[in-house]
Amino acid sequence: MAEVNTGDGGGGHGKHEKKRAKKASTRIDMTPMVDLAFLLLTFFVLTSTFNKAKTMEINFPAKPKDPKDLPKINNALTFLLTREGKDGKENGIYYYYGEFYGPGNKDGKPVTIFNKTDFSKEGLHKLLLDKNKPTVDALNALEERYVKKEIADTTYKRLALAEKGKREALTVLIKADDKAVYKNIVDAVDELNICNVGKYAIVDMGKGELDILNSIKKK
């Protein structure tokens, strides 16, 4: 509340004394304003929603005690991430499907051929959708049933998770050399989630793979 005090001592009392203007003093009570500020602050705190920390789930397989015990990968799509070009700033994404065979392998298999792609819509995205088509089609069918309310939300999530984890579903391995940047790995994992790839892991690049990759980059 504001108060205005007017005193009577400002004017003259004598007959010939000159009258002076009365002075007014103002005092503002800030208590209601402080109360209102705290009420508004409490209201915003109680009604606001705090952002949850966004995390990315990445699978790292356990390393075997003996390197010779590494399991054979026959149905996996392997991506090799690096940086190339004259300035070393160009993204290099190479891939191959199935088991890797290096030069002079004991099985007498042809050397694995690395194919190149990129992060464009017609590159990595299209490749993953084509390789993961059975799972994508199954998930689309489940989503259609969910939209029609034929299955509950919990049932939809359980069945979708089961489809991604099937034995015949696509498995992706991501490998990077010492030239690759962290952003490329994150972008690759994001693309896997967009394309509904449920089985993927980040593993170390083998020496044979690194040798072939370096030889390709020198060309």
pLDDT (average), residues 40-48: 86
Tell me what the mean pLDDT of segment 106-135 comes to: 91
Structural domain spans, the chain: 67-132+170-218
More confident residue, 38 or 62: 38
pLDDT digits (tens, 9 = 90+) for 18-41: 666 666 667 777 888 888 888 998
pTM listed for this prediction: 0.66
Predicted pLDDT of residue 139: 93
Question: Given this model, what pLDDT does residue 77 score?
Answer: 93
Q: Which CA distances in Å does 25 have to 3, 5, 6, 9, 99?
A: 8, 5, 7, 13, 91
Q: How confident is the model at residue 80 (pLDDT cuts 50, 70, 90)?
A: very high
pLDDT one-digit tens code per residue, 181-198: 889 999 999 999 999 998
* Position 61 pLDDT exceeds 60: no
Q: In the prediction, which pLDDT does 33 show?
A: 87
What does the pLDDT average to over 140-144? 93
Q: Judge whether 18 and 12 are in contact, CB under 8 Å.
A: yes
Instruction: Please tell me the predicted confidence (pLDDT) of residue 25.
Output: 66
Whether 66 shows a pLDDT value over 70: the answer reads no
Distance of CA 178 to the CA centre of its chain: 22
Residue 39 dihedral angles phi and psi, to the nearest 5°: -65, -45
Quote the tokens at residue 37: 């500020």
Q: Identify the residue with better confidence: 19 or 127.
A: 127
pLDDT for residue 67: 55
183-198 burial string, b = 16+ CB within 10 Å, else e?
A: ebbebbbebbeebbbb
